[in-house]
Amino acid sequence: MKLPHRRQFLHLAAGAAALPAVSRIARAQAYPSRPVRIVVGFPAGGSASDITARLIGQWLSERLGQQFVVENRPGAATNIATEAVVRAPPDGYSLLFVTSTNALNATIYDNLNFNFISDIAPVAGLIRVPFVMLVNPSVPAKTVPEFIAYAKANPGKLNVASLGTGSAPHVYGELFKAMTGVNTAHVPYRGSPFPDLLSGQVQVFFMSIPPSIELIRSGKLRALAVTTATRQEVLPDIPTVGEFVPGYEASGWSGVGSPKSTPTEVIDKLNREINTALADLKIKAQLVELGGEPMPMSPGAFGKLIVDETDKWAKVIRAANIKLD
């Protein structure tokens, strides 16, 4: 049998080597070929997470020609939704609406059936949500330094509300305690703490800005500071906690994840489309209405955020000895 000419052989070899790449490109081009589900760990209707997921789902549906359907799987502080996606085939047809709650749960829950960091592949960031430090007007402090001084002069007398043990308002308050040395009491709520905050039964609450903004503007509650690293356009005169407590930063965030081993080409395609959505003026305006800032990121950058946030809050949770009842 005659051996092929060297040039012909190299051409054939190059063609064979290119086949996997061609296959990957074809697979990415074909995706999605059927409906995709976005699993959200919160109830349908009303929550910023649900609304954000539906906004992005509608955008992806229109851009990619298949339905991206939001599937609400509430319960166990988003762990039910997360496990559903972890167990799904890694083909890009089951996506997880990832939130900062996932980073907290990694430490708060001792017996999870998954490892969030290793079992969920980061796809794209979506939105960052600033919080604000609220006090009842009966608290005689109009600034963060005045609050710290008052709290230290009255140890254990100020009650800090939260949305439950291990919730974002709880751990953001614990970080503040750890960095300032104040002694306050934690009061967890199953529902909204706002009625008791307004009546003065609890005096402090770290909460996202949207549900707080009108109460701040009306003077029913006092905003001492926002928790983000920079001031917020919606509350331009309110300083950051970090201006008085260097290094303090806390904010909610969300993004999209998929089961580990999802093809890179599929993740990259979704990332490009989501980042395009976040640059769209209409989408940006809708996210700002929800009280957030668009957070476009590469899969690698979003993965780093998840790891960094999980590590940061693990230290706070362990130092404060936060445990579920």
The CATH number for 238's domain is: 3.40.190.10
Q: pLDDT by residue (tens digit) across 162-219?
A: 999 999 999 999 999 999 999 999 999 998 999 999 999 999 999 999 889 999 999 9
Number of H helices, E strands in the chain: 12, 10
Q: Which pLDDT belongs to residue 17?
A: 59
Q: Which pLDDT belongs to residue 269?
A: 98
pLDDT confidence band for 3 (50 / 70 / 90)? very low
Residue range of the domain that includes 86: 35-129+251-319
Instruction: Verify that 140 and 239 share a domain, yes or no.
Output: yes
The verdict on residue 28 lying in a domain is: no
Name the residue among 49, 45, 69, 47 with its Cα closest to residue 57. Answer: 69
Instruction: Verify that 232 and 146 share a domain, yes or no.
Output: yes
Q: Which pLDDT belongs to residue 11?
A: 58
Q: Which residue has the higher pLDDT, 17 or 314?
A: 314
Q: Which pLDDT belongs to residue 288?
A: 87
Instruction: Tell me the pLDDT of the chain averaged across its residues.
Output: 92
Q: Are 160 and 204 in contact (CB under 8 A)?
A: yes
pLDDT(93) > 90:
yes
What's this model's pTM, rounded to 2 decimal places?
0.87
Last residue of a domain, one of 225, 243, 261: 243
Instruction: Verify that 40 and 189 share a domain, yes or no.
Output: no
Instruction: Verify that 206 and 237 share a domain, yes or no.
Output: yes
Q: Which pLDDT belongs to residue 291?
A: 83
pLDDT confidence band for 48 (50 / 70 / 90)? confident
Looking only at the bridges linking them, the beta strands covering 251-259 and 293-294 are unpaired
**Span of 44-48, 56-60, 139-143 with lowest mean pLDDT:** 44-48
Q: Which pLDDT belongs to residue 150?
A: 98
Q: Which pLDDT belongs to residue 4?
A: 46
The verdict on residue 25 lying in a domain is: no
Q: Which pLDDT belongs to residue 319?
A: 96
d(C-alpha 69, C-alpha 66), whole Å: 9
The verdict on residue 190 lying in a domain is: yes
Instruction: Verify that 229 and 139 share a domain, yes or no.
Output: yes
The verdict on residue 181 lying in a domain is: yes
Instruction: Verify that 118 and 51 share a domain, yes or no.
Output: yes
Percent of the chain with pLDDT over 70: 91
Q: What are phi and psi of 34, to 5 degrees?
A: -155, 170
Last residue of a domain, one of 212, 243, 274: 243
The verdict on residue 9 lying in a domain is: no
Instruction: Verify that 80 and 109 share a domain, yes or no.
Output: yes
d(C-alpha 202, C-alpha 193), whole Å: 8
Instruction: Verify that 210 and 234 share a domain, yes or no.
Output: yes
CATH number at residue 256: 3.40.190.150
Instruction: Verify that 121 and 261 share a domain, yes or no.
Output: yes
Instruction: Verify that 142 and 76 share a domain, yes or no.
Output: no
Record the tokens describing residue 193, joined without a space: 């703490």
State mean pLDDT over 126-141: 96
Q: Which pLDDT belongs to residue 144?
A: 98
Q: pLDDT by residue (tens digit) across 285-308?
A: 999 888 889 999 999 999 999 999
Query: Structurally, how many domains does the chain consist of?
Result: 2
pLDDT(1) > 50:
no
The verdict on residue 70 lying in a domain is: yes
pLDDT(22) > 50:
no
Last residue of a domain, one of 223, 243, 263: 243
CA angle (21, 25, 28) in 5-degree steps: 140
Q: Which pLDDT belongs to residue 21?
A: 47
pLDDT(137) > 50:
yes
Q: Which pLDDT belongs to residue 15?
A: 58
Q: Which residues contact 259 (CB under 8 A, 6 or more apart)?
A: 85, 86, 87, 88, 89, 90, 94, 119, 120, 121
Instruction: Verify that 123 and 266 share a domain, yes or no.
Output: yes
Instruction: Verify that 184 and 226 share a domain, yes or no.
Output: yes
The verdict on residue 281 lying in a domain is: yes
**Span of 45-49, 92-96, 311-315, 321-325 with lowest mean pLDDT:** 45-49
The verdict on residue 222 lying in a domain is: yes
